Amino acid sequence: MSESASQTADINPDDTIKILVASDIHLGFNEKDPIRGDDSFIAFEEVLQHALENEVDALLLGGDLFHVANPSTNTLDRCFRLLKTYTLGDKPIRLEFLSDQNDNFLESLSHTVNYEDPNMNIAIPVFSIHGNHDDSGGAGKVSSMNLLSTNGYVNYFGKWTDLSKIDIRPILLRKGETKLALYGLSYMSDARLCRLLDDAKVFIEKPDEPGFFSIMVLHQNRAERGPKNYLPESSLPQFLDLIIWGHEHDCRIEPEENSAKKFYVSQPGSTVATSLSEGEAIQKCCGLLSIHKGLFRMDPIPLKSVRPFVFESVDLATVQEELALDEGDVQQRVQDFATERIEAMIERAKTKITGYARQPKLPLIRLRLGLTEIEQQFNAIRFGFRYHGRVANPQDMVIFKKKPKVKVKDELGNALDKAALQEAYRNQREQRAQRAEEIVDRYFREADVVNQLEVLNPRSMAELCRRMVDYEDDDAPEKIIKFYEDKALSFLRSQDNTSEEGICEALAGFHTADPDIHEKVLSMLDARSNRQDATDPLQRFRDLDDDGMAGGNDGSSVRGDPPNTTVAAGKPAARGARGGRGSRGGGTARGAASKAASTAGSTRGRSQTSITSMFSQQSTNNSIASVATRTSSRKTATKKARQMDFDSDDE
């Protein structure tokens, strides 16, 4: 429960665990921008300064410390410098470690908490999970968080190592008479997590001893963004006391009680604005969490180093009569109106100057105008030129949102305006269309018969695109194509008829023969570096294959079955419309989606050729080669036209 003012008077500081809580630091965001490139580093340094000034026992991060999983050397160097400056030193650590460190830090080099490593001199231990931006995807599945763990700067925990189930074992700490159980759930796909929850395959182990204050830090969608595209609070176990919720960027750091489960949820939000949305304009904070036995208190600490950001949304329908938008030069009148509002917003931004020495002074301004007619829209980029040197984002200072007017008739023939309903539906479709993997999945599912995939699964192509965009994993196409080639060859070997017609008929039934093949693809991609011997920290280096990827062949989990003392989490509930806390850029989505489509087009012929080569020594060699030639040429001939259609879908 939360502390009251009367209860805090007799609290012994020697029995109080003090933790500074922050999330979504996004180091390296926009680092090449000469104006905004330092914002994330300045804010993170202030967080570290607060940890030092408040003499905290630990710093807890809720994921997305980095903006990308493989940040630039400049970003890594600046991060290392900050952590070395503020977290290393001779200050004694008063947190006693109680749990099995081999279980808590399976991925670390020493398998121990960093302040018990004799080679490190830690003053403030940092505990962190990974988020969707610093997820360990890509070649080798080594992310920036792994580098921080290897170098001893961060205690990286909560990384799932088995896709078939999640077994969460707490970090058990004690200071005086206060005992803390810290649970970590690093980011994974919301859909996958919901499936595991539905199947009761999420196990959260309770401590054997009573009296532990239980905290879980996680990094998932909290807002409803579609069915199985968020983590309902009701799916978390009731024995937890406090949830530190990362990923959502709007700051709601004051603990909010869940009326059903009776635990509290604190959402720190981000320390830097990565998308110019309304939620990002809320005051940025970190929090000082104090825990005394079964009591806790969260004190918000406003960040003074954050760049001023003012957001405003105006529906022009509400000022249509005032601006006389039904006559004359409508575009010029809207532009004059925008100029007036921008000037007022710049003045409001001046009130957010805190006096912090390193706070950026040029403000972020975002004016969203809801249009009723397309004629009201003006050139926002040209409009922003006049504000160079006055705002930090002149190129995207003004955005437009067209409100559709959809008229339908009721049973009596009266016209009904359902613009709001249609707008919500369109917004949902637009948000989904911005995602590269959604574009790829939609394209292949809606393709005509001639362009349908014969071997590859459309969902696997969407996964390929997601890994290229999110993780910049250029090895994913080769892995997925090779996987399907091997599966197709094995499937054809089991067929009796190897004639030309037999191969074509067999390939037509390849998808239905193994309906779970896409799940096997995901397991293949994610399990390559998860297999390692927990008793030997050097085993993963001995298991490196020719591609430099750590892996094995048995597909087994690194842990055994969960003990009988575990608690299965509940099932998710409720649905919602997909919304967005920012989306990927359209250009990136189009580029990656086009590359995925081109990859599919060029490899389909190659897959067919590889399949026919398996039977090259048989009597049907000539007929099979003929099938391969015709299939390859047909796919090549349609690839360019398919690419053009694909690009037009993204528009």
| Per-position b or e across 263-278, b if 16+ CB within 10 A of its CB | bbbbbbbbbbbbebbe
Contact 363, 307 (CB under 8 A): yes
Contact 23, 61 (CB under 8 A): yes
Contact 484, 476 (CB under 8 A): no
Residue 514 CA to residue 484 CA, distance in Å, equals 11
Between the CA of residue 322 and those of 284, 343, 345, what are the distances in Å? 36, 19, 20
Residue 596 CA to residue 604 CA, distance in Å, equals 12
518 is catalytic: no
Q: Can you count the helices (H) and strands (E) in the chain?
A: 18, 21
Contact 578, 457 (CB under 8 A): no
Q: Answer positive or negative: Cα dihedral of 8, 11, 17, 19.
A: positive
End-to-end CA distance of the chain: 51
The pair of three-digit structure tokens given for residue 562, joined into one six-digit string: 């969960």
Residue 251 CA to residue 267 CA, distance in Å, equals 6
Residue type (1 letter), 455 = V
- Residue 580 burial (CB count, 10 A): 16
Looking from the CA of 24 toward its CB, the CA atoms found within 13 Å total 27
Distant-in-sequence, close-in-space partners of 398: CB < 8 Å, separation ≥ 6: 338, 342, 367, 368, 369, 380, 383, 384
The DSSP secondary-structure symbol of 193 reads: H
Looking at 133, 219, 247, 292, which residue is catalytic? 133
The DSSP secondary-structure symbol of 116 reads: G
| Per-position b or e across 32-57, b if 16+ CB within 10 A of its CB | eeebbebbbbbbbbbbbebbbeeebb
Between CA 363 and CA 368, with CA 365 as vertex, the angle to 5 degrees is: 170
Distant-in-sequence, close-in-space partners of 459: CB < 8 Å, separation ≥ 6: 441, 518
Contact 91, 124 (CB under 8 A): yes
3-state helix, strand, coil in the chain (%, to 5): 40, 20, 45
Phi, psi of 13 (to 5 degrees): -60, -25
Contact 207, 103 (CB under 8 A): no
Q: Report which of 292, 244, 254 is spatially closest to residue 17, judged by C-alpha positions.
A: 292
Between the CA of residue 545 and those of 306, 351, 474, 609, what are the distances in Å? 46, 58, 18, 27
Residue type (1 letter), 594 = S
Distant-in-sequence, close-in-space partners of 455: CB < 8 Å, separation ≥ 6: 484, 485, 488, 507, 510, 604, 607, 608, 611
Residue 125 CA to residue 186 CA, distance in Å, equals 18
Q: Answer positive or negative: Cα dihedral of 92, 98, 102, 105.
A: negative
Where in the sequence numbering do the catalytic residues fall? 133
